[in-house]
Amino acid sequence: METLIDRLKDHLNRAIIGQPDLTHELLVALIANGHVLLEGPPGIAKTTAAKALANAIDGHFQRIQFTPDLLPGDVTGSDIYQQETGQFSFIPGPIMNDIVLADEINRAPAKVQSALLEAMGEKQVTVGNNSYALPALFFVIATQNPIEQEGTYPLPEAQLDRFIMKINLGYPSAESELEVLRLVRQQDLHKTQQSKPQPLCKADDILDLQQKALALYMSESVEHYIVQLVMATRHPERYLDDATTNSNLIEFGASPRATLALDRCARANALLNGRDFVTPDDVRQIALPVLRHRVITSFEAQASGLSTDDLLSRLISHVPAL
């Protein structure tokens, strides 16, 4: 019998050709009840991925195109004076939806990013003297382009830490790109006959999956393994004993929020893999996207040509599972 998870995987893999890691990690972040940051060059299906996921869930979806002239009220909503009543009433903004696509998030100024930070961290928005709760299923998919830096506002570390995962995307293979070409051509030929796809589940079904993931069994040894992985980002010299570790390669390691994120994502990963318990492999499989945006490498590491992913991959391979 095909499960809801199987149907979601199949739907995303048909919509996003040649990106199986992206579809899997999107579902991990969703079931882990976090938010995800997609980074990659233009035209590699970042927005398509967000729309495909939104189409699979019977909920409210909204895309916000971030620009330098955007105001916090354009995102959160604002109090509007009603002439008929002589009072102000709150008009909800696009953030008040189940799934929100924050397109090119690094083009938004600091005030807008602060408003989004509260929404992601507290699941509420504050307008004037009042706070308004966001939907129970509130999932932000943010995208950014690493190529263009002009006219952008780099996300501060506090904002990055609110994302449970950061997924780096590259170009598809030649075979996958050929499949994309043919698929899009067929869609364009039959555009007039296409209808909006029927959703596969409701928001409550996703909330139920989130609770099931939290209830999975995790042994004490796996808990210790998660903590040791995070500790390794703060003290890499304890795990890497070669000559390149004579200097401090990591300036700031991952925060305790990373430990919580690893726990939730490992549970979601185990659920997606069809198990009712968590293994060290579940942790290893998602450790890189969970940790890569929470670690700041030192000048020595950058001068040696070591990227954050390079260092983390080495640490993950050296930290033993108990």
Domains contained in the chain, CATH given: 4-187 (3.40.50.300), 216-318 (1.10.8.80)
- Among 30-44, 210-224, 258-272, the minimum mean pLDDT is found in 30-44
- Give the pLDDT confidence score for residue 45 in this predicted structure: 78
Q: Which residues of 290-300 are buried (b: 16+ CB within 10 A; e: fewer)?
A: bbbbbbebbeb
Q: For the whole model, what pTM was predicted?
A: 0.89
Residue 247 reports pLDDT greater than 60: no
For the ranges 10-24, 232-246, 272-286, the lowest mean pLDDT is seen at: 232-246
The confidence score (pLDDT) of residue 217 equals 96
Interstrand relation of 165-168 and 87-92 (parallel, antiparallel or unpaired): unpaired
**Checking phi first, is residue 266 left (phi over 0); if not, alpha (psi -120 to 50) or beta?**
alpha
Which positions ≥6 away from 314 have C-beta within 8 Å? 240
Whether residue 56 contacts residue 200, with contact meaning beta carbons closer than 8 Å, is answered with yes
Q: Is 169 in contact with 22 (CB distance < 8 Å)?
A: yes
Give the pLDDT band of residue 183 (cuts 50, 70, 90): confident
State the chain's mean pLDDT as an integer.
87
Pairing of strands 130-133, 124-127: antiparallel
Say if CB 194 and CB 248 are below 8 A apart. Answer: no
**What was the pLDDT predicted at 268?**
97
- Average pLDDT (235-261) is 78
Higher pLDDT residue, 92 or 18?
92
In this prediction, residue 117 carries a pLDDT of 82
Does the pLDDT value for residue 188 go beyond 90? Answer: no
Six-digit token string for 316: 């993950």
Q: Which residues contact residue 105 at a Cβ distance below 8 angstroms, ignoring those fewer than 6 apart?
A: 37, 66, 113, 116, 142, 143, 144, 155
- Is the pLDDT score of 301 beyond 50? yes
Six-digit token pair at 74?
A: 């354009």
* Residue 1 in this model has a pLDDT that exceeds 50: no
- List helix spans (H) across 32-95: 46-56, 72-76
SS (H, E, C) 254-306: CCHHHHHHHHHHHHHHHHHCCCCECCHHHHHHHHHHHHCCCCEECHHHHHCCC
Neighbours of 59 (CB within 10 A): 20
**pLDDT mean over 218-223:** 96
